Amino acid sequence: MLDLSPDEWIAIRLSLKIALVATVVALPLGIAVAWLLARKNFWGKALLDGLVHMPLVLPPVVTGYLLLISFGRRGPIGAFLACGVMGFPLLVRPIRLAIEAIDRKLEDAAATLGADRLWIFLTVTLPLAMPGLIAGMVLCFAKALGEFGATITFVSNIPGETQTISAAIYTLTQVPGGDAAAGRLVLVAIAISLAALVVAEWLARRAGTRFHGE
């Protein structure tokens, strides 16, 4: 078992908290944007799609700087915001693809039975898109967990407040004798990411079996 120091445990707990909260908070907006891009045609759709995916192509430092000049330094709250922004494209994309793959006839059938649009979305569209939703949440969580550039630019690297696993590893590689601690945190990051992927695959398979009869 890894012999982690108190500071290392703090960085791990903070990273998990930030990644989880960022994913949960971004989820409702991510679902709404994914549905809008999947089902609606409107002027500016390409622009909205580009804006959603821009954090994937911009250098993370640029995204962090834009957040900094827009909101100022926000301490721990800023870490949630930065991670949520960076993970948002990876949340939206799988959900959008899952919604686009749904047979519209299933929704139309529910409509003929008198269900309104919201009820159809909650009871037909969302359950059928569940594998994509799970994939999007895991990707967003993983991105938020490992985010470094935008976070350190936006909220700095304050131990116990904004220092995540990635920031802690960076700091440890810059000080003499820090390689061992950095290595321990790398192993922890790998274990967390692998566990998230395994759980996501299991949940996606269960969702596919339940809603698609696979």
Distance CA 134, CA 200 (A): 6
Report the number of distinct structural domains present in the chain: 1
Flag whether 30 is in a domain. Answer: yes
Question: 157 lies in a domain?
Answer: yes
Please check whether residue 196 lies inside any domain of the structure. yes
Residue 164 lies in a domain: yes
Task: Supply the range of the domain harboring residue 130.
Answer: 6-212
> Which domain CATH number covers 73?
1.10.3720.10
Residue range 113-170, pLDDT digits in tens? 777 888 888 888 888 888 889 889 998 998 888 888 888 888 777 777 778 888 888 8
Q: Using one digit for the tens of pLDDT, what is the confidence trace for 161-207?
A: 778 888 888 888 888 888 888 888 899 889 888 888 888 888 777 76
The pLDDT score that the predictor gives to residue 9 is 87
SS (HEC) of 50-111: HHHHHHHHCCHHHHHHHHHHHHCCCHHHHHHHHHHHHHHHHHHHHHHHHHHCCCHHHHHHHH
* Residue 78, in any domain of the structure: yes
Asked whether residue 1 is assigned to any structural domain, the reply reads no
- Spell out the residues 6+ positions from residue 113 whose beta carbon is closer than 8 angstroms to its own: none
- Residue 31 maps to a domain: yes
Do 146 and 16 meet the contact criterion of CB atoms below 8 Å apart? Answer: no
- Closest C-alpha among 27, 138, 130, 32 to residue 84: 27
pTM value is: 0.85
Q: Domain for residue 116, yes or no?
A: yes
Cα-Cα-Cα-Cα torsion 134, 139, 143, 144, nearest 10 degrees, comes to: -10
